[in-house]
Amino acid sequence: MIRKLSNGMTVAVEKMPNAKSASFTILLQRGAAYDPEGKAGLTAVMTEMLSRGCAGKNAVELISELDSLGIERSFDCSAEYVSLSASLLPDKLDRALNLFFDIITKPNCDQNEFKQSVELSIQSILAIEDNPAEKLMNELGLRFFPYPLGRPVKGIISEIKKLTVRDIKKAMSEFSPETAILSIAGNIEPDEVLVSVEKIFSVWKTASEIRKLSLTPPKELPSHIEKALGAQVQIGLAAPFVSAKDPNYPKAILLLMILTSGMSSRLFVEVREKRGLVYAVRAFYSLMQDNGAMIVYAGTTPDKAEECIQVICAELERLKEGANEKELERGKIKYRSSLIMACEMPSSRAQAMAVDILRFDRVRSISEMIESVTKIELEEMNSFLKSKRILPKIILTLGPEWRNKSGDGGKKI
Amino acid sequence: MIRKLSNGMTVAVEKMPNAKSASFTILLQRGAAYDPEGKAGLTAVMTEMLSRGCAGKNAVELISELDSLGIERSFDCSAEYVSLSASLLPDKLDRALNLFFDIITKPNCDQNEFKQSVELSIQSILAIEDNPAEKLMNELGLRFFPYPLGRPVKGIISEIKKLTVRDIKKAMSEFSPETAILSIAGNIEPDEVLVSVEKIFSVWKTASEIRKLSLTPPKELPSHIEKALGAQVQIGLAAPFVSAKDPNYPKAILLLMILTSGMSSRLFVEVREKRGLVYAVRAFYSLMQDNGAMIVYAGTTPDKAEECIQVICAELERLKEGANEKELERGKIKYRSSLIMACEMPSSRAQAMAVDILRFDRVRSISEMIESVTKIELEEMNSFLKSKRILPKIILTLGPEWRNKSGDGGKKI
């Protein structure tokens, strides 16, 4: 059930008759990509501030109220949005929604809490340096997606240090009900919940104009980042891929299942099982507004980096030759069973509903999603695979130096 | 419902009327601690081999069969056991159990697959070097737990290189139904499932004598591991803690909730929120046979390492002063709601059931677990907190050098 409130906020509610708990997700479409030039990290600091007091309650009072409701909460941000999620027992839903309304619309923005939030945001950026896989993904996004969509979400330390509480207040005032999405799933009565949501959220009004991002192509940056003391070469590939609204989206999902899902998937078999090149290799979808990307990640030793990249590229290339009936069937079964299992949890369902509204302007039912993939026939799939070549636009490595066998010292394949 | 099969295997089955899927977990009590001296890593390689062919099926045939059943599987090992888990739709349960029986009892142990498994195991050890938090936890266990329980599970590269297929075969022959545990939860009929399990597994017989581990105290090792290029100092503390069979176990759980669960927990408030010392700090239970440990983990910058350790130690020390009514209530609510939410998934429930049999020789119901914690009264809790001091035995740091303010250059607090 989907409603638009009078203030423009989109609300989706779904009863899960078998669930005991309930979950909700709020997406606020003012993510890190909206941070002004010179203020990269503003959204990360703001997200940290969300649990630090609202409506006159100080940070300690707010968090002990959340904890005393038994809420599992998660506040997070991406380039596109800030997301607030909560899982809880259904009888606490009303109080939780009231509290989250205050968190979003009546932040205290206390100076002292701001200082702590800046400090923690800096710590979290420093921690990336100790996590080469995360660093690789940041750098890959920066090279692939239009700027500032690909700008690292956690920001830049020197710019965070220059932020003020006023920046936070301004950014928070840019949260708008017109672009906000609230999804609720679990052991709830949709009609009652909607009445309650309307009462709580409809007084929220848009405070400032909704900005459109102006995007520019990503800059050319080096294709290798030297980290001499790393043990492994981290490898990332990014290729343009079908966007969510493309009618071929279900086929792209099935392509990914064939390529990377399960132990008999192509990447797993060719890169890991047959050649022992990596302990972990995976490909996944990355969507950013209308930009679809297929990202492939692998980590290996310097002597195997070249072969690893070659095998991955060969597998992407080989997709054009089509799949066989068995692979197609396995991909469908895998998609169906993992979707059913994932959707037993109200938290995953609420999250999926919110993202559906963001990407498709509607909520797809689980059976619709399954149907869209399982109905694809081999011939159809193979003509898609033939026409839709996956060509890596960026190949990035991070770690100790490695060289290709031609010996020219370059990092290009 | 718990049964002992005629061959000694323990089986627990639980119907979850609201679930759509089913999950099972098999624990084989022959984990990495049983690897002979000079063969550290044998169990890790063996675990990798489990999906590489059985009963005449080669690796590709086996994994495509698993995938075509839509099974989400996970094969893993710890010091104590090898665990095999599967989540699937209930109509596939019978075929899956048959397949897992073959995996455990009829491994191919193919030479070529062995080579690949060795290669991958080495890769996974190298990857630890790029993951300072994982490395810290390995090194902390080595310093805290009796040897070889605390020996790093993934093993030692030089010893893995000397392994042969015969070592794998020998280790696999040490899997025994007498110490094996199988738990099944989800949308299933327990009576039918038990008949089926009996039919499949009762022909499995113990092949070699069950070894008892002989344990020795951990060696004295340095309290700082230098990683000059790391951005953060990784901090780990380990303190002896209540074991699972101790009647005070529920109080220890509640202690942990007060100390570390939720945003209003003591560590979170004192270390993160008030002082901004770390982005992430957490404490958790670690159980190894009859050894209970409380582990505290934090990562911070070198200039804050000392204060961070001091604040953590002060919080552990302060526990003896007791909790207040509010903290106690929040801890109980948190425990109750997170347990209910976790147990909506057949996979978490099956996992919990298997571990219960390992730790308690029986399966606790969810309501029993909740009751055991929520019935604790403040006075009782506080006399436990007063008597049960949490004294860190090991404080380990990993990363760039840091010094304490007294300036003696030592790493001890």
Asked if A68 lies within 8 A of B333 by C-beta distance, the reply is: yes
Query: Does residue B371 register a pLDDT over 70?
Result: yes
A316 pairs with which residues across the strands? none
Asked if B344 lies within 8 A of A340 by C-beta distance, the reply is: no
Highest mean pLDDT among A38-47, B275-284, B329-338: A38-47
The 3-class secondary structure across chain A, one letter per residue, is: CEEECCCCCEEEEEECCCCCCEEEEEEECCCHHHCCCCCCCHHHHHHHHCCCCECCECHHHHHHHHHHCCCEEEEEECCCCEEEEEEECHHHHHHHHHHHHHHHHCECCCHHHHHHHHHHHHHHHHHHHCCHHHHHHHHHHHHHCCECCCCCCCCCHHHHCCCCHHHHHHHHHCCCHHHCEEEEEECCCHHHHHHHHHHHHCCCCCCCCCCCCCCECCCCCCCEEECCCCCCEEEEEEEEECCCCCCCHHHHHHHHHHHHCCCCCHHHHHHHHCCCCCCCEEEEEEEECCEEEEEEEEEECHHHHHHHHHHHHHHHHHHHHCCCHHHHHHHHHHHHHHHHHHCCCHHHHHHHHHHHHHHHCCCCCHHHHHHHHHCCCHHHHHHHHHHCCCCCCEEEEEECCCCCCCCCCCCCC
Report yes or no: A120 at the B interface, CB cutoff 8 Å: yes
Distance CA A202, CA A280 (A): 47
Distance CA B86, CA B103 (A): 13
Asked if B70 lies within 8 A of A21 by C-beta distance, the reply is: no
Distance CA A97, CA B65 (A): 46
Q: Which H or E element spans position B6? A: none
Asked if A326 lies within 8 A of B64 by C-beta distance, the reply is: yes
User: How many CA atoms does the CB half-sphere of B46 hold within 13 Å?
Assistant: 34
Q: Give CA separation, B273 vs A60, B154, B382, B383, in Å.
A: 9, 35, 25, 28
In this structure, what DSSP letter does residue B146 have? Answer: P
Q: Give the residue with greater pLDDT, A97 vs B341.
A: A97
A contacts of B300 (beta carbons < 8 Å): 123
Nearest CA distance, B204 vs chain A (angstrom): 27
Q: Where are the alpha helices (DSSP H) in B130-189?
A: 132-144, 157-160, 165-173
B contacts of A337 (beta carbons < 8 Å): 21, 70-72, 88-89
A contacts of B68 (beta carbons < 8 Å): 326, 329-330, 333
pLDDT one-digit tens code per residue, B109-122? 999 999 999 999 99
Query: Does residue B405 register a pLDDT over 70?
Result: no
CATH code for the domain defined by A2-201: 3.30.830.10
Residue B11, pLDDT score? 98
Site of tokens 């696999």: B172
Query: Does residue B412 register a pLDDT over 60?
Result: no
A contacts of B64 (beta carbons < 8 Å): 264, 326, 330
List, as ranges, residues 242-261 from B with C-beta within 8 Å of A.
none
B contacts of A303 (beta carbons < 8 Å): none
| Preceding peptide of A217 cis, ω within 30° | no
Partner residue facing A123 (CB), from B129, B131, B278:
B278
Query: Does residue B13 register a pLDDT over 90?
Result: yes
Asked if A333 lies within 8 A of B69 by C-beta distance, the reply is: yes
Helices B111-129, B132-144: crossing angle, 10 deg rounding: 100
Amino acid at A68: S
pLDDT one-digit tens code per residue, A343-383? 888 999 999 999 999 999 999 999 999 999 999 999 999 99
Residue A405, pLDDT score? 52
Nearest to A13 by CA among A66, A102, A90, A104: A90
Distance CA A108, CA A50 (A): 9
Report yes or no: A85 at the B interface, CB cutoff 8 Å: no
Distance CA B100, CA B360 (A): 25
Report yes or no: A229 at the B interface, CB cutoff 8 Å: yes
User: From the candidates B344, B349, B370, which should be mutated to test the interface with A, based on the most A CB atoms within 10 A?
Assistant: B344
Nearest to A170 by CA among A214, A213, A203, A211: A211
Q: DSSP string covering B209-251, please?
A: PPPPPPPBPPPP--SEEE-TT-SSEEEEEEEEE--TTSTTHHH
Burial class (CB within 10 angstroms; exposed 0-12, middle 13-18, buried 19+) of A406? exposed
CB contact burial B381-406 (16+ within 10 A = b; e otherwise): bbebbeebebebebbbbbbbebebee
Mean pLDDT over all residues of chain B?
Answer: 93
pLDDT one-digit tens code per residue, A62-115? 998 999 898 999 999 999 999 999 999 999 999 999 999 999 999 999 999 999
Residue A230, pLDDT score? 79
Give the pLDDT band (50/70/90) at residue A404.
Answer: low
Query: Does residue B397 register a pLDDT over 60?
Result: yes
pLDDT one-digit tens code per residue, A172-192? 999 999 999 999 999 999 999
CATH 3.30.830.10 in chain B is located at 2-201, 224-399
Distance CA B6, CA B397 (A): 49
Query: Does residue A413 register a pLDDT over 70?
Result: no
pLDDT one-digit tens code per residue, B39-97? 999 999 999 999 999 999 999 899 989 998 989 999 999 999 999 999 999 999 999 99
Q: How many CB atoms lie within 10 A of CB A134?
A: 15
By CA distance, what is B336's nearest residue in A?
A70
By CA distance, what is B329's nearest residue in A?
A68
By CA distance, what is B18's nearest residue in A?
A18
Amino acid at A126: L
pLDDT one-digit tens code per residue, A261-290? 888 899 999 999 889 899 889 999 999 999
Query: Does residue B238 register a pLDDT over 70?
Result: yes
Site of tokens 């084989």: B28
Phi first, then psi: give them for residue A169, nearest 5 degrees: -60, -45
Mean pLDDT over all residues of chain A?
Answer: 93
| Preceding peptide of B148 cis, ω within 30° | yes
What is the strand order of the sheet A233-241 is part of? A224-226, A394-399, A233-241, A291-300, A281-288
Site of tokens 């590939």: A237
Q: Which H or E element spans position B26? A: strand B22-28
Asked if A18 lies within 8 A of B21 by C-beta distance, the reply is: no
Partner residue facing B72 (CB), from A19, A71, A338:
A338
Structural contact between residues A411 and A235, judged by C-beta atoms closer than 8 angstroms: no
Query: Does residue A34 register a pLDDT over 50?
Result: yes
Structural contact between residues A296 and A285, judged by C-beta atoms closer than 8 angstroms: no
Structural contact between residues A85 and A113, judged by C-beta atoms closer than 8 angstroms: no
Nearest CA distance, A307 vs chain B (angstrom): 15
Query: Does residue A228 register a pLDDT over 90?
Result: no
Asked if A130 lies within 8 A of B326 by C-beta distance, the reply is: no
The predicted complex's ipTM stands at: 0.83
Report yes or no: B87 at the A interface, CB cutoff 8 Å: yes
pLDDT over 90 percentage in chain B: 85
Report yes or no: B349 at the A interface, CB cutoff 8 Å: no
Per-state percent for chain B, helix, strand, coil, to nearest 5: 45, 20, 35
List, as ranges, residues 150-209 from A with C-beta within 8 Å of B.
none
B contacts of A258 (beta carbons < 8 Å): none
Phi first, then psi: give them for residue A309, nearest 5 degrees: -65, -40
Distance CA B397, CA B152 (A): 17
Q: How many CB atoms lie within 10 A of CB A301?
A: 20
pLDDT one-digit tens code per residue, A232-257? 999 999 999 999 999 999 999 999 99
Query: Does residue B406 register a pLDDT over 90?
Result: no
Query: Does residue A398 register a pLDDT over 60?
Result: yes
pLDDT one-digit tens code per residue, A126-162? 999 889 999 999 999 999 999 999 999 999 999 999 9
Query: Does residue A410 register a pLDDT over 70?
Result: no
Q: How many CB atoms lie within 10 A of CB A214?
A: 8
Asked if B60 lies within 8 A of A272 by C-beta distance, the reply is: no
Asked if A67 lies within 8 A of B333 by C-beta distance, the reply is: yes
By CA distance, what is A91's nearest residue in B?
B337
Token pair for residue B103? 């995996």
Counted across chains A and B, CB pairs separated by less than 8 A come out at 195
Residue B196, pLDDT score? 97
CATH code for the domain defined by A224-399: 3.30.830.10
Q: 3-state class of B302 per DSSP?
A: helix
Q: Give CA separation, B290 vs B215, B279, B355, B358, in Å.
A: 12, 33, 13, 11
Token pair for residue B163? 């392994």
What number of residues does chain B have? 413
What number of residues does chain A have? 413
Residue A211, pLDDT score? 86
Task: Indicate the pairing of strand B181-186 with strand B10-15.
Answer: parallel
Report yes or no: B70 at the A interface, CB cutoff 8 Å: yes
Distance CA A86, CA A184 (A): 10
